[in-house]
Chain A
Amino acid sequence: MKYILMMNGSKTDFERYSRWSKEDLQANVSFMRAFSQELKDSGVFVASEGLGWPDDARLVRAGRKGEPITDGVFPESKEFLAGYWIIDVEDSEQAFAIAARLSQGPGVGAKAGAMPVEVRRVLSGHSDLGL
């Protein structure tokens, strides 16, 4: 079963992150790299991407002739996706364990961040075998 693990943050979270100390950032980056490697080594890794800063995030709607109309004004409370991992595991329990591991990533002052990770099921095809 495939699951997606998502890390979200508000604009304020992103701004705070950009002011972390060099040591904290380094610890965080190497943790993330090691985490991805761990997923690869254990044969559950499917995909992972980090996303750009929300500063250049835009909401796009189609205009009357289908032309793009962009808007970059977001409410303060809006959460932005920072990055995600897709994993292929046996069950939700295993997915949660991996998400918890990710949430342990070091935050400011190298304290385990307790960063929340959103876990969602990736939908698959259908089977009518029934049993």
Chain B
Amino acid sequence: MSGPTPEIPIEHRLRELAPQVLGVITRRFRDFALAEDAVQEAMLAAFRQWPQEGIPESPRAWLIRVANRRMTDMIRSEMARRQRETDITSEQEPTIGPTEEIEADMDPEDTLFLLFMCCHPALSTSSAIALTLRAVGGLSTAEIANAFMVPEATMAQRISRAKQSIKTSGVPFGLPTPQDRRERQPAVLHVLYLIFSEGYSSSVGAQLQRLDLAQEAIRLTRSTRGLLPEDAEVAGLLALMLLTDARQTARTGPNGELVPLDKQDRSLWNRAEIAEGTTLLTLALSKGSVGLYQLQAAIAAVHDEAAIAEDTDWPQILALYELLQRVAPGPMVILNQAIALAMVQGPARGLERLKPLDSDERLRGHYRLDAVRGHLFEMLGDSERAVQHYRTAASKTTSLPEQHFLMMQAARLEEA
């Protein structure tokens, strides 16, 4: 084993700096795809040179200077190529200002601009996710591919297509206006949430060598919070991630099997994350407007503060789901509300709440309605129906650990 290498801190610093540099270069040259290439090359140059020559005094300015130079070269050769092809002499030179100027405008807005561009509604969610991880998260294509378990070439293609769509859809290169921010903030938060949920759902025991997307999402949301410190929903989302991630090690058994909330070993929960999430949430809630992430974080916090499952404050959870149903109504909220209702007023009331969902198109073929029904019929003591619903749910779920869990539930009841 070799001793500590200088590459580790450099890699981390580059990852932090990449989006800032990319934001500056993209806004300056108004060509995201080209800027991305230029910044990648600047990163590579830093990776080669810094360990030998030492980290420059202002790493950010160094990177901007190199990327800027590279960008200029690429634009020049692109123009030369076009001239050769069309034989039309153009006097137009790319607008390149003195680099000293750029160094001064160290601006968090550059990263914010980049984040809003990567989460643009013109992109499919999978493209937005890939692009955000790459451009804002500073991850390599190989790392992202590995996290999603697809070949590197596939991820590279997805990213390059995403860049192409940004180009063709004419996404503006200006900073998001306050109105843009209001309108598009939910889409940005949704992308961050999806990155977290992808990481959270795929991080099953044996895949230790995979990049932890949940941690990446937390890191990205943390830096988004630095950019939008007054936004209570950004804080709410970060709190939700921390309060959920706190249970990560307890939610899976030694063989990758699913451990439901009420059976988890709560001593495994990450106290530091719970404390940080709770503090963040309290602060966010004091700001007034309560949104869906704050409410979900509040529900997670109520679960997290119960030392044993029996101590869970279900009336409070029920009240929070009712609020959530008003803020962000949907069949999934009703499902969770029904569980809380069953815990407070008994399973019969919970089952009653589920009835209208039978005709809800959005839940057609979804396993969770059956899973919840199975659970509530079991509470009611109707094993036969519980088994039926557990089995139906098992046949519909798209998750292997869930399928095993639901089949075990059915088998357990049948043997009892």
Contact = CB atoms under 8 A, between A and B. Distances in A.
Contacts of B149: 46
Given A40-B157, A129-B244, A121 B151 contact: no
B181 interface: no
12 contacts: A43-B154, A43-B159, A45-B154, A46-B150, A124-B201, A125-B202, A126-B402, A126-B405, A127-B197, A127-B201, A128-B261, A131-B330
Q: Which one of B330, B398, B399 has the greatest number of beta carbons of chain A within 10 Å?
A: B398
A59 interface: no
Given A40-B153, A45-B154, A125-B201, A1 B336 contact: no
Nearest to B247: A128
Contact of A123 (B153, B203, B333, B398): B398
B155 A43 contact: yes
Contact of B151 (A45, A126, A131): A45
Contacts of B403: 123
Interface in A20-43: 40-43
Interface residues of A, number: 21
A45 B201 CA distance: 22
Nearest to B154: A45
A40 to B, nearest CB: 6
B215 interface: no
Contacts of B401: 125-126
B399 A43 contact: no
Interface string B203-219: 11000000000000000
Interface string A112-131: 00000000010111111111
B148 A127 contact: no
A129 B399 CA distance: 13
Contacts of A90: 124-126
A127 B403 CA distance: 12
A79 interface: no
B319 interface: no
Interface of A: 1, 40-47, 88, 90, 121, 123-131
Contacts of B330: 131
A44 B154 contact: yes
Interface in B320-348: 330, 332-333, 335-336
B251 A128 contact: yes
Contacts of B397: 123
A45 B150 CA distance: 7
Contact of A127 (B124, B150, B260, B399): B399
B37 to A, nearest CB: 18
A44 B127 CA distance: 11
A43 B158 contact: yes
Given A40-B153, A40-B157, A126-B201, A121 B398 contact: yes
Contacts of A45: 150-151, 153-154
The listed residue with most A CB atoms (<10 A of its CB), out of B150, B203, B336, is B150
B400 A125 contact: yes
B125 A123 contact: no
Contacts of A40: 153-154, 157
B154 A88 contact: yes
Interface in B233-265: 244, 251, 258, 260-261
Residue of A88, A126, A127 most packed against chain B (CB within 10 A): A126
